[in-house]
Amino acid sequence: MSTRQSSAAINLPNALTLIRLLLTPLFVILLLRDQITPALVVFCLAGISDGLDGFIARYFDQRTLIGAYLDPVADKALLMSAFVCLAMMGMLPDWLTVMVLSRDILIVIGIAILTVTGKKYHIHPSLVSKCTTVAQIAMVIVSLMAPGIPILQAVTAVLVPVTAALTAISGLHYVYIGMNLLQSD
């Protein structure tokens, strides 16, 4: 597998990422209109596009610089929107949403500080970060499916603390990495 990046900005993986980015407002509108099932379908389609764009980019060597930046933006836009809307609707705890948003804001601030100070860094999600993302996605899906289904309400009760713990650990891990980068020569 090659690690070079394609010079073509518009390719299938980037188009899928843009579609995912454009699905975010539709997802929010559906949620705000209390159309939970269609919102769940849109969220799942966005999730499928995320997996598909990454697979295509790696397998067919279609990675681009814009894709490297746009993909995490699309992911964060969708997840942050989902957590905010679900908290506003009372389907997720407010404190969990604050944790998720705070972690992501902390990461962005850290990247800005590293950039301003001229420190070299490469953005590679850690294992704990990947687990956090999976937990957050599962949290959104289960929250959207849970109303009226007792077993899923029980899953939600377990998933909330797991998501919170992973979010906190991941945030602290990124702080640790960032502090080491700032202190390095």
Of the pLDDT bands very low, low, confident and very high (cuts 50, 70, 90), residue 7 is low
Q: Give helix then strand counts, H and E, for the chain.
A: 6, 0
Contact residues for 154 (Cβ-Cβ < 8 A; gap 6+)? none
6 SS3 class: strand
Q: What is the pLDDT of residues 111-147, one digit of tens each?
A: 999 999 999 888 778 899 989 999 999 999 999 998 8
In sequence order, what are the beta bridge partners of 64? 6
pLDDT tens readout for residues 139-183? 999 999 988 788 998 999 999 999 999 999 999 999 999 999 999
In this predicted structure, the answer to whether residue 3 has a pLDDT above a threshold of 50 is no
What pLDDT sits at residue 117? 93
- The C-alpha atoms of residue 157 and residue 161 are separated, in whole angstroms, by 7
- Phi/psi region, residue 61 (left: phi>0; alpha: psi -120 to 50; beta: rest), is left
Task: Determine what percent of the chain is predicted with pLDDT higher than 70.
Answer: 95
pTM, to two decimals: 0.90
In degrees rounded to 5, what are phi and psi of residue 72? -65, -30
Mean pLDDT of the chain: 91
